[in-house]
Chains A and B, each alone.
Chain A
Amino acid sequence: MFSAWELILQQLVNGLILGSFYALVALGYSMVYGIIKLLNFAHGDIYMTGAFICLSVYGAVSGVLPGWTGIAVSVLAAMAVSGLLGFLAQKFAYRPLLSAPRLSLLITAIGVSLVISNTVMVITKSQPLFFTSGLDNSLGIKFGSITVTYIQIIMLAVSAILMISLTLFINRTMMGKAMRAIALDQDTCALVGINVNKIIGLTFVLGSALAAIAGGMACVYYGNVQYNMGYMIGIKAFTAAVIGGIGSVPGAMLGGILLGLLEALGTQFLGSSWKDVFAFGLLILILILRPNGLLGRSEIERM
Chain B
Amino acid sequence: MHNFEFVKPSTIADAIKALSAEGAQPLSGGQTLLPTMKQRLAAPDVLVSLTGISEMQGVCMGDGGLHIGAATPHAVVARDAARHYPALAALAGGIGDPAVRNRGTIGGSIANNDPAACYPSAVLASGATVVTSQRRIAADDYFQGMFTTALEEGEFVTEVVFPIPERAAYVKFNQPASRFALTGVFVAKFADGVRVAVTGASNNGVFRWTEAEDALSADFSAGAIAGLTVAADDMISDLHGSAAYRANLVKVLTGRAVTAAR
Are both chains from one complex?
A: no
| Chain A residues proximal to chain B, CB less than 8 Å | none
| Chain B residues proximal to chain A, CB less than 8 Å | none
